[in-house]
Chains A and B, each alone.
Chain A
Amino acid sequence: MKSVIKGAGYILCHVPDMVLHNGTTQTTEMIVNPEGEYLKALPSHLRSWEDVLEYWPNQVYIGNKTPDELAAVPQPFYTTPCDVKERYGHFGQMMPQEEFTLLMQASDVFDLVWLDKNFVAQYKEQFAANPMIDETIVARIKDGIEISEIERLVKEEHSEGLYHNGTLVGCVKRAHDIDVNLSAHVMLENIVSKASSVLALIAGVQNAGYQKADIEYVIDCCEEACGDMNQRGGCNFAKAAAEIAGLVSASGSDSRGFCAGPAHALVEAAALVEAGAYKTVAVTAGGCTAKLGMNGKDHVKKGMPAFEDMLGGFCVVIGENDGVSPEINLEILGRHTVGTGSAPQNVISSLVTDPLDRNGLKVTDVDKFSPEMQNPDITKPAGAGDVPQANYKMIAALAVKRGDIPKADMPAFIKDHGLTGWAPTQGHIPSGVPYIGFAREDIMAGKIKRAMIIGKGSLFLGRMTNLFDGISFIIQANSSAEAAAAAGVSEEEVKSMIAKAMKEFAATLLAQAE
């Protein structure tokens, strides 16, 4: 039986001070042009918590608004405040910097994160009140230390400062005196990734309707690496985050592939479940400090807010076929192979049309495509254009070349089969996966039957190969009733089987409650 998507979690963490201190555009500028206009101007372009709450793309990311609603908002989105300003949404939440700083400390198991005791006292109660943060995580919060000691650690011990509203409130210590892989800078990046993955995992598991102990395997697919000088990319962020999230029955491992990582990881997760190796697999990724303010120079130059102030995280939970949830169809996989080449035409053919051809489908048989879902507010001022739109134009152009649609229908195809981008430019975060939560809902509501998730990765960034990379898969309406009917089982019998399974599940819950 095909595996199914049981639920998804999406979280954002608003970290304006990290934009200044940890984004590589800014840290590079501090080295090459420390007295330049950009670093002077940037702080006045940072957004407030209220600004990010009323920002349309953020409300779509956490599920309070839909991509269709976003499509009707005039661009740039930031000029139209969203009517919903909630920090919690049905996919997850937006977390403010003060809570995220505490979550970082709670996620650290090597006494590397130290916070000012007054900061902890001020925000611990607020942190504990967050409904996704349970008592086991709150219990991990330490009382904190004197700010003078934190100042000393930053000045004398190469610690990376943690700031809130421009004030030093904590630090991340180096984990080794000599090993650059365990430097304070690397540890900060990795703890941020881990902490935001913890929050995403909690959201994903909750939304999938599972107990924490139900998750058997976790795959992390972020773009960071952890390890010491003898195994720089040893990793297993997955298990590290699962521990803090309380997934006691889970094992895990990491999968990497630049921005294509999440799509690769989801295919692996679906295969593991379909093969019966694990019943439930959570695919997760936290956010990336390096990319904060990545296009800040263009935003500042054009008088816009510095939009890249949100760490992104997501979690998709794959489970055994329940007869209801949308399935991942592993028979329709798009593969960018070593021999495919890097011309856009070859890339799109290998990911979109080749897998459809192999299964006798046309481009128009896919109701929605979810390629790189970057928010155009961020990318357009930086000269990168509207990335999702560029992808849709390529898919439409290919459909025209193949004769699936007439050229005149390109705009209508793009509107009907495309989506407006809403994801923060956090590398792996926008790559196909932001739509999975909505795709699950749209398929279950009967609005669409089939969605294609497309992940693409720029492997040349690692200087190991000039090859491009990509992978795609199809999410489709649950077909187990049809399959059963074809196998001679009636719809009534399927319904009765599902009812029986639900009764057994309820009995288990009751037994646990007792």
Chain B
Amino acid sequence: MDLENQKRVLGFAEQYGPENVVVLLGAAEGEASGLAAETVTAGDPTFSGPLTGVSLGLTVFHVCEPQVKEEFDQAVYEEQVGMMEMVLDVDDIVSEMTSIRDEFCKYLG
């Protein structure tokens, strides 16, 4: 994850409290989604950004995951995400995201 984005995520977590922050991803691949999710939960796996060694454990979802889709007005979702949903390997993304969340998320019941 971009170093500047890591800094912003860290800043929001400090400002609002990590339990009040949800990170919503739009990455195009399962692997890239997993890496970003790992960065905001376990810490930066590339050891280069501000989240190196910082395990925020934030709640993190990809916009194509069913739990997130349910939260949207379906017309808006179709307009904004519908095409990408057709293009992405949603199953792969869901599987990556679920495994990272199960292991590192601190704020899901």
**Chain A residues packing against B (C-beta within 8 Å):** 28-29, 32-33, 36, 297, 343-346, 348, 383-385, 390, 393-394, 397-398, 400-401
Contacts and interface: CB of A to CB of B under 8 A. Distances in A.
B82 A28 contact: no
Contacts of A346: 80
B32 A390 contact: no
Nearest to A410: B86
A348 B79 CA distance: 12
B47 interface: yes
B46 A345 contact: no
A348 B82 CA distance: 13
Contacts of A393: 86-87
Nearest to B34: A383
A343 B46 CA distance: 28
B84 A344 contact: yes
A345 B48 contact: no
A400 B81 contact: no
Contacts of A390: 28, 87
Contact of A385 (B3, B29, B47): B29
A394 B81 CA distance: 11
Contacts of A383: 27, 29, 31-32, 35
Contacts of A348: 83
Contacts of B48: 28-29, 32-33
Interface residues of B, number: 18
Nearest to B2: A461
Q: Give the one of B3, B29, B35, B87 with max A CB within 10 A.
A: B87
Contacts, number: 49
A33 B47 contact: yes
Interface in B53-109: 79-84, 86-87
A84 B11 CA distance: 52
17 contacts: A32-B48, A33-B47, A33-B48, A343-B79, A343-B80, A344-B84, A345-B82, A346-B80, A348-B83, A383-B29, A383-B35, A384-B28, A384-B32, A385-B29, A393-B86, A397-B84, A401-B86
Nearest to A389: B87
A400 B35 CA distance: 31
A230 B8 CA distance: 30
A398 B51 CA distance: 37
A385 B32 CA distance: 9
A267 B84 CA distance: 29
Given A36-B47, A384-B29, A385-B29, A345 B35 contact: no
Contact of A394 (B3, B29, B79, B83): B83
Q: Give the one of B48, B81, B83 with max A CB within 10 A.
A: B83
Given A383-B31, A383-B35, A384-B32, A401 B46 contact: no
A32 B44 CA distance: 13
B47 A401 contact: no
A390 B3 CA distance: 25
CB-based closest 4 A-B pairs: A383-B32, A393-B87, A345-B83, A397-B86
A155 to B, nearest CB: 28
Given A29-B48, A343-B81, A394 B87 contact: yes
Contacts of B82: 345, 401
